[in-house]
Amino acid sequence: MEKETILKAMREAKKPLSAGEVATLTGIDRKAVDKVFAQLKKSGEITSPIRCKWTPVE
């Protein structure tokens, strides 16, 4: 569930976001966001166009 919430927030932002920004937007704990980001990076669902900022792969 957190994964879908995070991806939805990232898509709606329409710009690359840091983990901290995602945590603020979603209300999910930063450590939980970091864990989900690690999973998303490993599966190739998010990419980093700017250092420390992430966006979903379309």
Report the chain (58 residues): mean pLDDT per 10 consecutive residues: 96 96 97 97 96 93
Does any domain span residue 23?
A: yes
**Residue 23: both structure tokens together:** 């945590």
Does any domain span residue 58?
A: no
**pLDDT at site 58:** 80
Instruction: Please state the pTM of the whole predicted model.
Output: 0.90
Four-point Cα dihedral 23, 27, 28, 31, nearest 10: 50
Does any domain span residue 26?
A: yes
Domain of 28 in residue numbering reads as 2-53
Domain count, the chain: 1
Residue 54 and residue 57: Cα distance in Å, rounded?
A: 9
Helix (H) or strand (E) holding 5: helix 2-13
